[in-house]
Amino acid sequence: MSTSPIHYIPQSRTPQILSQEIHHIIACPHAQVPVGTTKRTNHWSFYLSTSETTCVALDCQPSHTVPSSVLVGGSKAYVILSEWNAPAGSDASLEFAVGVE
C-alpha cells in the first residue's frame, strides 16, 4: 500500500465509491481473535449501506510499516474503504444501525 492514509478497494472504483448514496450506517464488533498472547483483538468496522444487498466497508488497519508518533512500538493506521456485495461483514457479532437523513 502507498503511504496515503486512505485506500479504496478496488482503487479503480474510487470515484464510484465516493459518489454512492448512503442509506444507513451499521457499526459492527467482530469476533475476538487471539493474537499470540492472552490479549484479544477489539475490532469494529463500519458498513455504509448503499442498498439492501451492498455496502461500502469502512475499516481501519495498522500499516505495520509507518511508525506511530504516539504509541511506542505501534504503527500509523490506514483507513480502507471497500465495496462489498453484502450488507455487512459475515463475521460481525452484532449490528447497530443508524439512519442517515
Give CA–CA dist 55/38, Å, rounded.
33
- pLDDT given for residue 37 in this prediction: 63
Question: Which residue, 8, 97, 5, 7, is CA-closest to 47?
Answer: 97
Tens-digit pLDDT profile for residues 45-101: 899 999 989 999 999 888 888 888 888 888 888 999 999 998 877 766 667 777 777
Read out DSSP for 18-77? HHPPP-EEEEEEB---B-SSS-B---EEEEEESSSS-EEEEEEEEEEEEE-SSSTT-EEE
Tens-digit pLDDT profile for residues 33-51: 666 666 666 778 899 999 9
Give CA–CA dist 61/82, Å, rounded.
13
For the chain, the structural domain boundaries read 6-99
Indicate the residue type of 19: S
Query: pLDDT class for 17, splitting at 50, 70, 90?
Result: very high
Helix (H, G, I), strand (E, B) or coil at 87: coil
- pLDDT given for residue 53 in this prediction: 92
